[in-house]
Structure 1
Amino acid sequence: MMKAAVPETFGTLDQRSRDIFRRIVESYLGDGEPVGSRNLSRILPLALSPATIRNVMSDLEQLGLIYAPHVSAGRLPTQMGLRFFVDAFLEIGDLPPEERKSIEAQVRAAGSGHSVENVLTEASQILSGLSRGAGLVLATKVEGALKHIEFVRLEPTRALAVLVTQSGDVENRVIDLPPGVTASQLIEASNFLNAHIQGRTLSEARSELARLKEETKQALDQLSQHLVEEGLAIWSGGGNDQPTRLIVRGRANLLENIHAQDDIERLRHLFDDLETKEGMIQLLELAEAGSGVRIFIGSENKLFSLSGSSLVVAPYRDAEQRIVGALGVIGPTRLNYARIVPMVDYTAQLVSKLLR
């Protein structure tokens, strides 16, 4: 989890100040409303007068941990206060057994058809439903081991290239055929590719064919050789380091408690930024920078600085333990972090297992 630099002064807070601060934050996380000294005097375990509590609240304001949204109102935690609470007070337990079983059953059911896309979409939906925020999954292009490639003629100058991986994923692309290509040349090109790509990733297959360039020229005529090169080239540019898609479920959840048009516009900009190539790369870098779940609150990251949202995110890995994507929850800063952190962590572990 991300740890922010907390001023040393915070460590000098006495137990009374910590208790009052903690109650203010817990009240905010519960209902989003400011809490005043009179209400705090009723719920604190210590018998303190409202006047004493107000003095402590004034000290907490001086430290930048809380603020008053309106004159004579109660207090809310600042962004710095939320970060301090998450780092110093948040107790993160494990998910209840029944919730773990439910998440596992849904993720495994989605993966029963060997579709990575289904698994990732279901993971996003699960996180949205359980958190009441937006579930987010960033998927990079995973280079699986190849099993088979075939060319199927559609019309005289076009063919369908069908690529099958050893995990059962199938991709189809339409390619243009050079004039004069015969059915036997399509078969010849397929056979040559299948003899050299099986068990290799696309990048490995391209390297192998480059190494066999002279042999390829001798074994194939010019048109068949063009098909071999075209057959691999159409899948190029999708290496592990380039995110390819962002799956988001539950965006409407973020609008439930938003009424101001400005806030809605900020959320729209957030998702527009996330869906750009730069935004997705940055999101993946955020997840990669830590070994597990990371928490970003408001403007701690420029992606969320305008929307005032929080992100709980964790990476997931392939069979070689390479980080190939990230998943998490976006929501208001008063997310139930104690519940969502283990939820995101467990879902990332499940997705990693299914990708092995």
Structure 2
Amino acid sequence: MKALTASEMREVDRLTTERHGISGTQLMENAGTAVAEVVRQQISLRFQSPARRVFVLCGKGNNGGDGLVAARHLRQEIRQTVVLLFGSPEDLRDDRASYFQRWRDAGGETLLIRNNAEWVVAFSRIAGADVVVDALLGTGLRGPATGLIAKAISEINSLSRNARAPIPALIVAVDIPSGLPSDGQQAEGPVLYAHTTVTFTAPKIGQLLSVDAQSCGNLIVRAIGSPAKLVDELGKETIRWSGPDEFAELPLIRCADSHKGLYGHVLVVAGSAGKSGAAVLAGVGALKAGAGLVTIAAPDSVQGIVAAHQSEYMTEPLPTLADGS
């Protein structure tokens, strides 16, 4: 799957509506629904007991609109789902205003974050969260995160130790971690670290190549209605993400009359005295990847050790040098 820049992604969204009649409102609904589904899946994988407290941090842009949709769906199962809106309801426009009203009409709790005092109160509650959903800033970000949002990003990173602490147990970023530039450049300000990022339609360049790409955690790409052919048509970069679709057309069942000589021969040159494990693991990896033949060339001093680990691969001795290599 091709990776897209922010401008390419905007064009995909525009043509999805223009050519295929899928409105921006529907795309936002689909995106938020996808986030809620992933959050529920991750909870089932990570939690030994049901999640009780979910906080959805929403900005004023479309990313925040996705978060409002996700919050509405999550609240159906997790009643203590709370939206933190960074700004005033009056700042919301179009679909974001509509989805915020639906959230309020459904009885959802909202904390407004308009100044530092309100953030301090809200952060004291986030400290006890099971799940945090980051919908503050999306792919349209220009420049660094600033103001209260930058403060929130930094303090959540401190709380979660860059998503390495046990609490919050799950941090999910909507489309892209807040503060991470979409096009691969280094972030100029703080970037929120997530355990999982749910991105829409296609991965973004910055999620794969940026020095801050590790902030995404586990990257999940979800289709929300845009045809895959638009990604292929508009994506100009050569960077691809190796998702399951990349391998869908590979034959996974081998013919009954085939043999190992039909499936490639891998030569692994690895290992040294006291470090035979690298050669063993590389050889096992080649076998598991499907290679019909695997030969490991290793120093003669460790050849026997390497050969004893896996009967399927072959070995060739190399002279052992004075340093053991």
TM-score by length of 1: 0.22
| Greater length-normalized contact order (CA 8 Å, ≥ 6 residues apart) | 1
When Rg is computed on C-alpha atoms for both structures, the one with the higher figure is 1
TM-score by length of 2: 0.24
